[in-house]
Structure 1
Amino acid sequence: MTHRPLVVLAPDKFKGSLSAPEVARALARGISRRMPGADVRCVPVADGGDGMVDAFAAAGWTRVEVDAPGPTGEPSTAVYAVRGETAVVELAAAVGLVKLPGGRLAPLQASTFGLGVVIAHALDAGARDIVLGLGGSASSDGGAGLLRALGLRLLDRDGVELEVAGDVAAMLGQVIAVDRSGLHPAVSTARFTLACDVDNPLLGPAGAVAVYAPQKGASVRQMVKLEAGLTNWAAVLGTGYAEIGGAGAAGGTGFGVLAVLGAQVRSGIDVVLELLEFTTLVGAATLVVTGEGSLDHQSMHGKAPVGVAAAAKAAGVPVVAAVGRMMLSLGEIRAAGFAACYPLSDLEPDPARSIIAAAELLERIGERIAMNHLPLPRL
């Protein structure tokens, strides 16, 4: 009787190069070439940022496409994944930086309204467990756009409803009250989970604006306006929510969803692994392979590969990483739970060439992993 080693491939995306499913398939080709008898299963993952829907679609969840405005209001489409009453909604796929027309940054004009349109679609379709992947946001509107799309009315001092359009910072500064009576009726019975890998509060030096607004193109002057707007927004919805770790995620989207929708904040990779039933699958594995574009000190704080390594370690299964580049010492790699790390830079030191040839290089890495970590077939 032949013993077939089971290899579980659970990488995140290689940003700017390959999606997580593409990374997994490339590794699978290499492993299967070296050891044709291995049982190789692809379970691509994400930590809450872009690529989350792709990971669930690869696991067999239904992919749903929705017409929804992009971050600056232009007609666009977005996708989410659904199974039963659970919907996985990815902010980046609706109103992320990648959805900005021509890649032009718009720190004061971008909003999360389109994300609210996607959530409403999922609720209308019967979803009652909404998992929001927060990452790659183009806006800093505190989730105001999302909530308005779900029926929340934002009122100024004259009781006039404000629109989340134009200058978002100015709008947030004018809100003095909200009217929740028009919220989508399913909101009261739905459960919202924020899947994110950051613990920033909404305001202050570690908040949404100070840390992330520069990445969205905000000047110092614009950052001052955005911070003032979000400070007023927090006073309207509840300053206590602003201090919760994760409230500053995605330009303060975390805050808005915490304050109005009663969301729970959880580690993105933990949520993904739970929904993919990863623990059950990995229990029978011989080896787990994970990875991402760059394994560095930021990876130690809630990124996908470290979460996968922790789950594999808990199951008593060895885990190795295949990465674009490794920025950690061997001791740090071992401390994070990895038996070994295989960077593409060992094969191709030129970053530009490595990005272009990532799939081919990953196949070669897959062969090395099979040779070094899988047992020879027993008869």
Structure 2
Amino acid sequence: MTLLDLPLAATRGNPAAAASYWDTDPLRYLDEHGAPVEGGLRPAPEMLAADRLLAVYRSLRLARAFDTEATALVMQGHLAVYPSSRGQEACQAAAALCLQPQDWLFPTYRDTAALAVRGIDPVEALTLLRGSWHCGYDPKRWRTAPQCTPLATQAPHAVGLALAAKMAGDPVVALCLLGDGATSEGDFHEACNSAGVYQAPVVFLVQNNQYAISVPLRKQTRALSLAGKGAGYGMPGVRVDGNDVIALMHVLDEALERARAGGGPTLIEAVTYRIRPHTNADDAARYRDQGEVELWLSRDPVDRLARYLTATGRLDAGLDAAIGEEGAKYAAAMRERLAEEPHVDPGDMFEHVFAGPTPQLRAQRAMVEAEIAAQSADSSAPTHGEA
């Protein structure tokens, strides 16, 4: 019996067993201090190879550098909005690293760091958040759907693509990223139900960061765990420590290969935490206390892997500093290139939807053009003392 067989085998026809199973701690390989957990997961030797883990660590540091720079950019007015991924780097790096080149990723608005790890140009990845365009990268080239802001609406798309690949005989798996809030949406239910019925090669990775904006998980659901919802759709559900990148990649690797081999979908709940506010427009201090944040800072996914690599002799201060410098150069280049990007014509928002402009669109365009003209006139008018 494999890891992914356990939830269904343990809970089928036995509510008491289901309750006891889903009330357990998430699966993990490393504890908060970066030490292997006694009785925890035992990943394959190739997962623990020095070269692979150092590549994973570089990806975590890149994701952290991307997030830090993007947070600074939004505070300085260079981005319209930015939903930070601080604290969730393990989830996003693992998602990008575990996919094969032919697989598809369906990200949310918070998963920009996953795009960076996947290799997408960071400037192209930020066009949506800059307000420049709906999607700055080529989804077909990168096998990555446009980032989705409405909750869970990308989930049926992921299932549809996975089913199309299955019918065509293509060895493609779709990985759909979600937040805990998305599991309350109808699109989540429809996607999971369809995936289970048709055995679609899709994996749902729910990043349970404890809050749907300001609503804590305990007020979102009465379920003992989000992974436990998988049983209702006939698919395995696995609850894993979302700040333990080794455990997360172990679970993802198995789920993706299971789907590729015709075994159907999997629901993974990665237990993690959103360190920063929902976006720069949110005041998280109104609904959570700093002590809670400090607790989760002590469980930082980047520091956890660094401690493990250091303790096992694979990372020293010199190499760590060099990796940090790589991230700093990446962030600096991202800032410099973003500053060189031209501003788009506001009129573009009225294009590319209908074959021809509707009367409503023409009226809206005229209103926008009049407002821009009025602002230009105001800015060119002499100020007090200049006339």
TM-score (structure 2 length as normaliser): 0.34
Q: TM-score, normalised by structure 1?
A: 0.34
Q: Which has the higher strand share?
A: 1
